[in-house]
Amino acid sequence: MSAVVDLLERDAALARVDELAGAARAGEGQALAIVAPAGVGKTSLLAAIRDRLVARGHLVLSASGTDRERSLPHATTRSLLEPALTDPGLRADVLRDAAVPAAAILGGAAAPGPLQHSLYWTVANLAAHGPLALLVDDAHECDDASIDFLGYLARRVTDLPVIIVAALRPAAQVAWSPALEALHRDVGELQLPPLTDGAAAVLLGRLMNGPVSRGFIETCVRATGGNPFYLTELARDLERRGIDPSGDQLPHADTIAPPAIVRSVLLQMAVLAPAAPRLAHACAVLGDGCRLDHAAQLAEVPIDEAATAADALVASGVLVDDAGGLRLAHPILRASVLGDVGRHERARWHARAAAVLRSRGAPVGVVATHLKATEPAGDPETADLLLQAGEQALGAGSPHAAVALLRRARDEPPSPAAVGDVEFRLGVAEAQVGDLAAIEHLVTGIRLADDPDTATERALLFAELARKASLVPLAVDALDTVLASTRSTRLRSLAAADRYWIGRTSTTTYARVRGQRGDLDRALAHPDAEVSRVAACHLATEAAVAGPLTDLHRYLDLALAPPGLLAHISIDSAALAGALFALTVGERHADHDALTTEVLEKAGRTGNWVAHVLATIYRGIELPRLGQVGAAATEVSDAMALATEAGWPMGSAELPAVQVAARLWIGDVAGAADVVADVPFDLANPTTVPVAMLLHTRGEVALRRHDPRAALGDATAAGACLEQLAVRNPAITAWRRTASAALRVLGEQRRATELAEEELGLARSMSGPAVQAGSLRALAALVPGPEAVELLAEADGLVAGGPALLERALVAYELGAALRRTGRPTDARRHLAAALDLADRCGGTALAASAREEIALAGGRPRRTRVTGVAALTPAESRVVRLAAKGTTNTVIAQTLFVSRKTVEKQLASAYGKLGISSRAGLAQIDLSGLESGS
């Protein structure tokens, strides 16, 4: 009893795969899902596809999802990739750089964290040796981690010589999951239709060894829906019953419909051998690859009887016995066997299967697959095994699977001593899939911790998750609950430092922590290096918002002291974000570049997209100041897409705020308006610095759209939020500057001047030279010509020759325009020419256009925009050239930027053409200072 192997009416499917394979060999990979019900011939088609691809020179790797392994994270991934890595030399070449973490999965051990990025690079490195094809049968039966990986790879395969073909059933016929839904979205689909009457005639003629009447064919097709498996089994059944396929005496279609065929199969089992039905049921419950002794124990039959029954079932085609163990010959047969019993009896079978496998030392994940299908029975051991399996799933980057396992563990329920563990791990898993139920479970896990220090460790993790989700009050509440009881001075210091700083960031909690900065000072003196570095970062950030500037630099020096900040803290922590923020505010450009480069490279190697996004936020603020406006827009846009893909739609309010600012500098006012109109943050009631920054940028959009009242409203509302938080440094958000400009347009000169003078006073005491220069520009717009020239000359002196290209361009433009208006056209043209040159280098399209107009008014002739050289590079090209010039390999560049090697190669080739060189070696002869420091 076996499914038909003929490929009737599958020429179109094979032609489509041939087309994709040709594109893959040219370096343009694609992914395809073959979707069809069970029995239509997906497995046979995949076998034919494999043969064709092997003949065309592809390395073909195949795997199949099985229900037995659905709770084993990356089980299918291992089956798919491990066979290609048996050669030690190839393995070493493939599992290198960013692919190194994948060795934990591909060696069979549990993995330490999210692996999709690493597994992508494993595939990319394999594909570097030649075109690669990945074929996955029964993808709907894969574990969630493997499905997530296939989707992750499918979204990035277009630049690789790789074809992915996954066979799966329609959504209505399988247990749907978020991972499977995402995979459907990420791949093209090819539906396999049932057989037509013509193909059915060919098939039935072969099976029944003789002529088949038209009426017989039509009846069979009507009964089976043209399903090849059902047609095959129906033909065998009718032949056994002596039905003449060429005659007119045909049974009614209802009597030969699929349910009748299934009942016939089940009845045959009983006559084959007395133990056959129970053994078949045991094999169906245990899943593909079960051992005979396991199946016999589960079926509760002696091993000799089980062996006889197994041989009979194999001979009849009900079972297949291969190197992997016993399995039902077709999914339809397995469903039929399992469908013969009710839900409660099936749960009892799974409970016995779990007991059998546990007694035989099966992996926890395999046992948990069965336990998950049982009824809760108050067994603490069951809950403990499900907890272990859930933790393994979390460690292997499969949070959806972990949620299912841990919820089942909670329902068992666990022993009173283990409830806190289950609740907290469940909350962690739910947080990773964006389920708000996580909050309740995490808080319960903290409350039920078995000792105060465990509670503190959990509270610190919860606080970090809550901070990233903008749930600041909950973070502070959690840390409040543990501080009094924590025994470890190290944990107490970390909790107190985080409580102060997290509470400091929101108007809803600031009153609770105001005046408690001493917690940071005490943590700074702690002998533990992590505690003291965390405190130094938070204190540097405190100085950034409240001054003085000397304190900011002192604390940053402590944070960055050898062996470096990342030797002690996580690359995605609040402390790291604080250090980058302080470096930005303090205009420490070289230190900022070094730290963000280190973070991005480490994030690229480990696939830590949260760290990549956080570092990009602060690069997005930094790069425009250094004259790389377009690069900021590109990098932040890429980071927003990465955050959205990972389930963090806008990452943080800073991301869209930085994107809006960058778009305004390149003259894309409409694009900036679109970004700010589509954010999920409550701009009507800002409570945090990031949301206030975003509201301020919306005010800037309104100002560019000639709506000064809206601009004034947004700027002053942002300012009110920041004042509540005692955040006064204009280097963070120059809302006074925007409000002043709006008031000037509205004719309220006095109020506009007061705000501009207030900002300048703050900038002189709290900010670096570039911000001070901007404040001088704002005030110069409100005073008479000679006084404006004096202020602008002071600003020019602050930034002259420095790295702040954008501010230099703005100052040069304003000074040139002021000189022209005071009757000094020669001096004006000199400054305006510098402004145009700097604006072009910065990518400041709007500023460059204004400079050209002013040069013409001053009697000059503006030069053309450069089309070659460093200034002609696109933001993406500048980014890869900057890294290549440091000696970074193409692979590491691609990993750092979360793009493909092919993308890097294309961008470098284009850049070389503009720079007039032919290879990377020529970069040594090019002045790239504008890309490095903006000077």
* 585-632 tens-digit pLDDT: 999 999 999 999 999 888 887 777 788 888 888 888 888 888 887 778
Instruction: Look up residue 704 and give its two tokens.
Output: 């560019």
| Per-residue model confidence as pLDDT tens digits over 689-700 | 889 999 999 999
- Judge contact between 138 and 68, C-beta under 8 A: no
Residue 468 pLDDT exceeds 80: no
Predicted local confidence at residue 2, as pLDDT = 39
Peptide bond into 563 cis (omega under 30): yes
Specify the CATH class of 871-932 in words. Answer: mainly alpha
Q: What is the mean pLDDT of the chain?
A: 86
Query: What band does 112 get if pLDDT is binned at 50, 70 and 90?
Result: very low
Phi, psi of 417 (to 5 degrees): -70, -25
Query: What band does 117 get if pLDDT is binned at 50, 70 and 90?
Result: confident
Predicted local confidence at residue 651, as pLDDT = 56
Secondary structure string (H, E, C) spanning 284-324: HHHCCCECHHHHHHHHCCCHHHHHHHHHHHHHHCCEEEECC
For residue 185, give Cα distances in angstroms to 152, 181, 188, 189. Answer: 11, 7, 8, 9
Residue 415 pLDDT exceeds 60: yes
**12: which strand partners?**
none
Residue 300 pLDDT exceeds 80: yes
Residues 404-426 have a mean pLDDT of 94
Residue 926 pLDDT exceeds 70: yes
More confident residue, 241 or 91: 91
Low-confidence winner among 145-149, 238-242, 704-708, 777-781 (lowest mean pLDDT): 238-242
Residues 217-226 have a mean pLDDT of 81
Predicted local confidence at residue 517, as pLDDT = 86
Q: How far is 72 from 665, CA to CA, in rounded Å?
A: 50
Predicted local confidence at residue 931, as pLDDT = 58
Residue 650 pLDDT exceeds 50: no
Query: What band does 933 get if pLDDT is binned at 50, 70 and 90?
Result: very low
Q: Where are the alpha helices (DSSP H) in 82-176?
A: 88-94, 103-106, 116-127, 144-154
H/E segment holding residue 526: none
| Per-residue model confidence as pLDDT tens digits over 510-541 | 999 988 888 889 999 999 999 999 999 999 99
Nearest Cα neighbor of 158 from 16, 23, 52, 18 is: 23
Predicted local confidence at residue 324, as pLDDT = 77
Nearest Cα neighbor of 869 from 927, 934, 932 is: 927
| Superfamily in which the 11-191 domain is placed by CATH | P-loop containing nucleotide triphosphate hydrolases (3.40.50.300)
| Per-residue model confidence as pLDDT tens digits over 265-296 | 666 667 768 888 899 999 999 988 899 999 99
Residues 260-268 have a mean pLDDT of 63
Burial, 530: exposed, middle or buried (Cβ in 10 Å; 0-12, 13-18, 19+)? Answer: middle
Q: How far is 121 from 124, CA to CA, in rounded Å?
A: 5
More confident residue, 387 or 218: 387
Query: What band does 4 get if pLDDT is binned at 50, 70 and 90?
Result: very low
- Judge contact between 408 and 379, C-beta under 8 A: no
Q: What are the domain boundaries of the chain?
A: 11-191, 197-256, 274-361, 634-835, 871-932
| Per-residue model confidence as pLDDT tens digits over 21-40 | 898 888 889 899 898 887 88
Predicted local confidence at residue 266, as pLDDT = 61
Predicted local confidence at residue 213, as pLDDT = 86
466 Cβ contact list (under 8 Å, min separation 6): 439, 472, 474, 475, 478
Residue 869 pLDDT exceeds 70: no
**Which residue carries 């000037």 as its tokens?**
744
CATH number of the 634-835 domain: 1.25.40.10
**What is the torsion angle, in degrees rounded to the nearest 10, for the CA atoms of residue 281, residue 284, residue 290 and residue 296?**
-10
**What percent of the chain is helix, strand and coil (3-state, nearest 5)?**
70, 5, 30
Low-confidence winner among 44-53, 87-96, 252-261, 781-790 (lowest mean pLDDT): 252-261
Residues 216-229 have a mean pLDDT of 82
Sign of CA dihedral 586, 581, 598, 872: negative
Predicted local confidence at residue 67, as pLDDT = 76
Predicted local confidence at residue 771, as pLDDT = 95
Sign of CA dihedral 848, 853, 859, 862: positive
Predicted local confidence at residue 451, as pLDDT = 92
Residues 835-848 have a mean pLDDT of 83
Query: What band does 442 get if pLDDT is binned at 50, 70 and 90?
Result: very high
For residue 693, give Cα distances in angstroms to 198, 298, 661. Answer: 68, 64, 10
- Judge contact between 50 and 60, C-beta under 8 A: yes
More confident residue, 434 or 304: 304
Query: What band does 110 get if pLDDT is binned at 50, 70 and 90?
Result: very low
Secondary structure string (H, E, C) spanning 149-174: HHHHHHCCHHHCCEEEEEEECCHHHC
Q: Where are the alpha helices (DSSP H) in 561-588?
A: 574-585
Q: Is 74 helix (H, G, I), strand (E, B) or coil?
A: coil
More confident residue, 485 or 229: 485
CATH number of the 274-361 domain: 1.10.10
**62: which strand partners?**
135
| Per-residue model confidence as pLDDT tens digits over 304-352 | 999 999 998 888 778 889 877 898 887 777 877 887 778 889 899 999 9
- Judge contact between 182 and 148, C-beta under 8 A: yes
Query: What band does 460 get if pLDDT is binned at 50, 70 and 90?
Result: very high
Most trustworthy range by pLDDT among 169-178, 713-722, 848-857, 902-911:
713-722
More confident residue, 424 or 879: 424
Q: How far is 273 from 277, CA to CA, in rounded Å?
A: 8
Check for a shared fold between 274-361 and 871-932.
yes
C-alpha 646: how far from chain center: 3
Nearest Cα neighbor of 877 from 920, 831, 916, 909 is: 909
Query: Following DSSP, what letter does each residue of 2-61 receive, concatenated?
Result: ------TT-HHHHHHHHHHHHHHHTT--EEEEEE--TTSSHHHHHHHHHHHHHHTT-EEE
Predicted local confidence at residue 253, as pLDDT = 47
